[in-house]
Structure 1
């Protein structure tokens, strides 16, 4: 049997993955995949796949939630095609990339992203370093138990991609039939899984591999962290302002009985620990409880993306922040945490924001605000916006 048709099954309740990491792509005759070659001739070479599986990860990064579905070059290549393919929507107008754009750190500059039958109920979360998070659940309200489960939920949403099986929509099985009739998918699924059969589990596995491959470790922060033993040391490549901001970010605040800060830092790391800057799974909401559609409050949003690449290196925001998109600048983000209001009905506010039962008052001066902003900007890289392996292959 050809190496290209080797089927490696890595099974769990959530996924099926091809995990043949010793692929010899030189053994793959292009004539076996003529439709892939014709459609993606300038973007995908099955004989010379992009490196998704063995990217450099800094030694100080220890979290990895990809162990049950390891990234492979083959699987992530299929995931890339699926991620950008508008055929995954009911009217061929929307892809995953429509709401998660590479140019904006895989988020959207719109507050609500446009779907086939309306718009999303929350702002589209950035997809940076999802692999390196201790939080295993996805969506702002953590309704998906894993990234694998999350990947097909927008496809099955009436408003987003339209294969809901309700409200007059086709079903997900109809999508599978649709993709099964597309020649390049017949070849790609055979290339990855050894068979042309398409299943939801295979789609989930490939999409999750591609999304987890999207990593950003070429920031000023990473250049500095690689030169020291731990985050608490001054980074030699940082300005005095950036090091001050780092210290404020990492150091817990000292509060008086009224919740007013009297010393220490501002404690961002209590929810967004370095060096991954992901969200603590035990976090409550951050006091932003608005809704995009309708009225009332929503106190269930307790997840957040990594703080990496909140903005581009020039300070330009990668779209609005928070699930409502209500925050549009780093200054506004810092300002929000500077004065927390305990809103009526918000029974899920993170207790770290309510010292002594009162909404925290950080009492930041302009120098401190500017220092924290300067530090947050050091978390942004450049490669994630331009690397071809994460770009549109069509």
Structure 2
């Protein structure tokens, strides 16, 4: 009897200890309170349950990654999301990064030029930001003047016309923006959460914005559904139509030119500059035959940057934004036709990419209408759907 009582006592004692430990554990990690974030964003931002930016799945065949020394962390990407959509980053609280890079257009703008502060406009049309991380090219802006995505993120804030913190002609300097953000309660909570202090610095803005932008990825296209079923891009995709497979083969296969530069065999070689499966721009590309600027006749020979061709259109074929750095082409067919015939004029365009001047004369692909249609059909297979609706990339202020 004594032994039974001893066993029962031991069991009760262990149960009490276990309950006490469980209670202690639950009390040691209470949900943190963020009243300013709650007031500003409601349930759109929850620092106790962060959106997954860092652990997103990408296909095994996607191998390019320009993250470098700024890996994506959920806390900092969340802060980057708020910064991306916050109009407080402009001098008159009217423009944010998202004013030019809209989720509904694959983070580009359907307008030729985007709206800036005080009725102004941007000098160029806004480049798509989808899959910025998955590229060899690391420079940004159409003329590649930013050596990295980090450096690019704060330059529009300092631009006199775009967001206004230029320190010129009566406009406040960039330091004024840092002080302004430091005085906003939800940034105190966000920076404290991400960095353990409330200090707002340019390098922190760059770090967080770049992490958020690099998190924007699109790999749910018809192309991806086909690519995962084959060993390489040269094989026919089982889910493609005959026209789409024909367009893919034209895109990937280099052209063969005769002595007069008339294409006589092969494909059209788009892949030489826009390499599958990321479809990013070759960083060694030179001018593509477009030498003008938006709404003007000035020459521009330095432009070599281009976004990934992914989500050039939405499913169904609607173009997300004007194409080329001048926005000269409003349809995919028009963009293809630009590459069909390119004149070589050393005086007019001494920086033309050599791949567009075979045999040192102008390019003449001699594409048929059927070939153009096939290329259009293939490029439309690069369009996903999730990037346009995923909440973690959406406006938290709504």
TM-score (norm 1): 0.92
Of 119, 123, 126, which residue of structure 2 is paired with 1:124? 126
Question: Given the alignment of the two structures, is residue 354 of structure 1 paired with residue 363 of structure 2, yes or no?
Answer: no
Render the CA deviation track for 1:36-95: whole Å, top value 9, x for unaligned.
122111211111111100001100000111131000111110000000000000110000
Alignment of 1:11-90 (within 5 A): 27=29, 29-31=31-33, 33-90=34-91
Task: Return 117-126 or 315-324, whichever deviates more.
Answer: 117-126
Change (3 A) 1:294 1:330: closer
Alignment of 1:187-266 (within 5 A): 187-266=189-268
Of 387, 390, 394, which residue of structure 1 is paired with 2:390? 387
How large is the Cα RMSD of the aligned pairs? 1.2
Render the CA deviation track for 1:169-201: whole Å, top value 9, x for unaligned.
101100001000000001100010110000000
Identify the residue that residue 377 of structure 2 maps to in structure 1.
374
The offset of 1:28, in angstroms, is 6.3
Alignment of 1:323-362 (within 5 A): 323-343=325-345, 344-362=347-365
CA distance in structure 2 between the partners assigned to 1:291 and 1:237 by the alignment: 40
CA distance in structure 2 between the partners assigned to 1:112 and 1:299 by the alignment: 20
Q: SS of the residue aligned with 1:263?
A: strand
Q: SS of the residue aligned with 2:274?
A: coil
Q: SS of the residue aligned with 1:127?
A: coil
CA distance in structure 2 between the partners assigned to 1:250 and 1:76 by the alignment: 35
The offset of 1:345, in angstroms, is 2.6
Alignment of 1:104-123 (within 5 A): 104-117=105-118, 118-123=120-125
Answer yes or no: is the 8 Å Cα contact 1:253–1:264 preserved in 2.
yes
Task: Return 366-375 or 207-216, whichever deviates more.
Answer: 366-375
CA distance in structure 2 between the partners assigned to 1:323 and 1:282 by the alignment: 17
Q: SS of the residue aligned with 1:130?
A: coil
Structure 2 stretches of 5 or more lacking a match? 1-27
TM-score (norm 2): 0.91
CA distance in structure 2 between the partners assigned to 1:319 and 1:141 by the alignment: 18
Question: Given the alignment of the two structures, is residue 363 of structure 1 paired with residue 366 of structure 2, yes or no?
Answer: yes
The offset of 1:294, in angstroms, is 4.6
CA distance in structure 1 between the partners assigned to 2:205 and 2:135 by the alignment: 22
CA distance in structure 2 between the partners assigned to 1:28 and 1:332 by the alignment: 58
The offset of 1:295, in angstroms, is 3.7
Alignment of 1:273-292 (within 5 A): 273-292=275-294
CA distance in structure 2 between the partners assigned to 1:353 and 1:28 by the alignment: 62
Render the CA deviation track for 1:88-143: whole Å, top value 9, x for unaligned.
00110000000000000100111111111521111110001000010011111110
Structure 1 stretches of 5 or more lacking a match? 1-25
CA distance in structure 2 between the partners assigned to 1:345 and 1:176 by the alignment: 44
Q: SS of the residue aligned with 1:119?
A: coil
Change (3 A) 1:293 1:336: closer
CA distance in structure 2 between the partners assigned to 1:28 and 1:232 by the alignment: 54
* Structure ID, larger Rg: 2
CA distance in structure 2 between the partners assigned to 1:285 and 1:123 by the alignment: 17
